[in-house]
């Protein structure tokens, strides 16, 4: 007996591909077994009330989507790590190349501390703007491509695009980028102070 579950789930439960404890069941359903959709925690109460075995099989699509989501989350965090390394390298190179600018600004009366603050604000604005553009571009691309891809894969599917953001990968990515920017800004501040204390352009660039 089956209530509110797709036929694919019934077939998968009857013909399990491998013996796995839990859901779907490793053995075919019993003649008196009841299939119910809903909260798995209510299965025990329902079984006691009906005096029969109650199964709440998992949706077959979750087996595929779980690994797809995990792969994309891992790719997002890995991309954040690469972006952090690139950010550190870029700010380090720019700090060295703009050594002459530090001496000119010092001659105009701008202290090294103020120059360090200006560099931190400048790089911070670039990082925040790049993050906002990346999030907006990613959501727009997903809204344009994902429905059409799913429609081609499952022609009978009727989909309404719904944009959502998984908070944990986004939070980890933000922490990685912020830590990279913070370390780069601190190193740039020390370099600017050292450059401002020098007396020659060659010493500042060294």
Is there a single domain that holds both residue 24 and residue 124?
Answer: no
Is there a single domain that holds both residue 36 and residue 67?
Answer: no
Cα 104–Cα 109–Cα 111 angle in degrees, nearest 5: 90
- H/E element holding 109? none
Domain tally for the chain?
2
Domain for residue 37, yes or no? yes
Q: What is the pLDDT of residue 77?
A: 87
Domain for residue 39, yes or no? yes
Is there a single domain that holds both residue 132 and residue 43?
Answer: no
Q: What is the pLDDT of residue 1?
A: 41
Answer whether residue 161 shows pLDDT above 70: no
Most confident of 20-29, 53-62, 134-143: 134-143
Please, which pLDDT band fits residue 30 given cuts at 50, 70 and 90?
low
Domain for residue 73, yes or no? yes
Is there a single domain that holds both residue 115 and residue 198?
Answer: yes
Q: What is the pLDDT of residue 45?
A: 80
Domain for residue 173, yes or no? yes
Range of the domain at 40: 7-55
Q: What is the pLDDT of residue 129?
A: 92
b (16+ CB within 10 A) / e for 162-191: eeeeeeebeeebeebbeebbeebbeebbeb
Is there a single domain that holds both residue 194 and residue 97?
Answer: yes
Domain for residue 2, yes or no? no
Please, which pLDDT band fits residue 193 given cuts at 50, 70 and 90?
confident
Q: Would strands 54-55 and 34-35 be described as parallel, antiparallel, or unpaired?
A: parallel
Domain for residue 1, yes or no? no
Answer whether residue 18 shows pLDDT above 50: no
Is there a single domain that holds both residue 88 and residue 32?
Answer: no
Average pLDDT over residues 175-193: 87
What value does the mean pLDDT of the chain take? 74
């Amino acid at each position: 007996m089956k209530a509110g579950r797709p036929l694919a789930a019934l077939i998968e439960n009857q013909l399990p591909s491998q013996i796995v404890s839990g859901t779907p069941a490793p053995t075919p359903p019993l003649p008196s077994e009841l299939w119910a959709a809903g909260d798995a925690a209510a299965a025990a109460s329902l079984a006691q009330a009906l005096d029969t075995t109650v199964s709440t099989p998992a949706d077959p699509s979750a087996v595929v989507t779980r690994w797809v989501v995990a792969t994309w989350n891992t790719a997002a965090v890995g991309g954040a790590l690469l972006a952090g390394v690139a950010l550190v390298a870029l700010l380090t190179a720019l700090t060295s190349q703009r050594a002459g600018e530090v001496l000119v600004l010092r001659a105009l009366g701008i202290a090294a501390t103020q120059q360090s603050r200006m560099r931190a604000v400048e790089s911070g604005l670039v990082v925040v703007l790049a993050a906002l553009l990346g999030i907006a571009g990613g959501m727009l691309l997903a809204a344009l491509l994902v429905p059409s891809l799913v429609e081609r894969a499952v022609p009978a599917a009727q989909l309404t695009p719904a944009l959502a953001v998984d908070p944990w990968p986004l939070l980890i990515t933000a922490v990685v980028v912020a830590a990279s920017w913070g370390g780069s800004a601190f190193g740039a501040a020390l370099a600017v102070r050292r450059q401002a204390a020098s007396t020659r352009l060659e010493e500042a660039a060294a």
